[in-house]
Structure 1
Amino acid sequence: SGMSFWDIVWFIVIFFAFMAYLMVLFMILGDLMSDSETSGWAKGLWVVFLVILPLIASLIYLIARGSGMSRRRMAEVKTVQKMQEDYIRDVAGPQTGVGAADQVAKAKDLLDSGTITQAEFDALKAKALA
């Protein structure tokens, strides 16, 4: 009446296969939707095909568009990496490549425009020259 050892093993195998299939399906859908070269009609047909015949459609997609998937993924990784580097440079600010003279000049511009007070300018200048 209880579950046998082999029932549990079979459940684990089926569960693993189902999770692997879901990961592949979401990877395909993510790639499909992020591909700007594919028309909306083609995307719609792929989605319908993936719903009606999921296993066959997944295999055909991976065979037909697998190399494009890796190129698009690499381009996405490079874009994210560049954005992250730009953000880090932006946040790091004065410590990376901006000289003390540039910092003082920017502070002087702020002082001249009335954005900061003389005391704040003096503090920024002291910090830049330190």
Structure 2
Amino acid sequence: MESQLLAYDYPLLGAFWTVLWIFLWVLWFMLLFRIIIDIFRDDGMGGWGKAGWLIFVVILPFLGVLVYIIARGKSMGAREIKHVQEQRADMDAYIRATAGSGSQVDELAKLSQLRASGDITDAEYERAKEKILR
């Protein structure tokens, strides 16, 4: 006779354990890759130190990750915060550079005020206006 696999042949607790193990493996790999990224990101550690930690984490992953977290866990968070702050500063600088100092309308209004107050002549006003409109 042919055997059929029915839904009740795989109990709910078995499904729960399977999902739990998959979750733990995904979590483990995320932690492992985060530690490897942290090893390369650390500017205070020399090349031999990075190579040693990397070999330790790759050859003996469970022990290597455990020792790395114990030895360098606090500074790992500080490096992550520093990296995010640097990224934000770079993005802000890029946005400021891309946006420019202001729109053409604002610059023309300032130029018009300078001409009205007598700080620049009409010829200087026309030259500056042509530069802005280019």
Q: TM-score, normalised by structure 1?
A: 0.70
1:94 paired to 2:68: no
1:66 paired to 2:85: no
Map Cα deviations across residues 44-96 of structure 1 (whole Å, 9 max, x no partner). 22122112321221111111111111121111111111111111111111328
- CA drift of 1:122 comes to 6.8
**Structure 1 residues 37 and 4: CA distance shift in structure 2, 3 A:** same
Q: Of residues 41, 44, 49 in structure 1, which corresponds to 2:51?
A: 44
Unaligned runs of 5+ in 2: 112-126
Matched position secondary structure for 1:10: helix
Matched position secondary structure for 1:28: helix
Which amino acid is the alignment partner of residue 27 of structure 2? A
Percent identity (aligned): 30
Equivalent residue number for residue 109 of structure 1: none
Which amino acid is the alignment partner of residue 56 of structure 2? F
Runs of 4+ aligned structure 1 residues displaced above 4 Å come to none
RMSD (Å) for aligned C-alpha atoms: 2.7
- Give the number of equivalent residue pairs: 108
Measure, in 1, the Cα distance between the counterparts of 2:19 and 2:45.
37
Unaligned runs of 5+ in 1: 105-117, 126-130
1:124 paired to 2:133: yes
Matched position secondary structure for 1:36: coil
Q: TM-score, normalised by structure 2?
A: 0.68
1:34 paired to 2:61: no
Equivalent residue number for residue 24 of structure 1: 31
**Deviates further, 47-56 or 12-21:** 47-56
Equivalent residue number for residue 17 of structure 2: 10
Measure, in 2, the Cα distance between the counterparts of 1:7 and 1:75.
43
Larger radius of gyration: 2
Which amino acid is the alignment partner of residue 34 of structure 1? R
Which amino acid is the alignment partner of residue 107 of structure 2? A
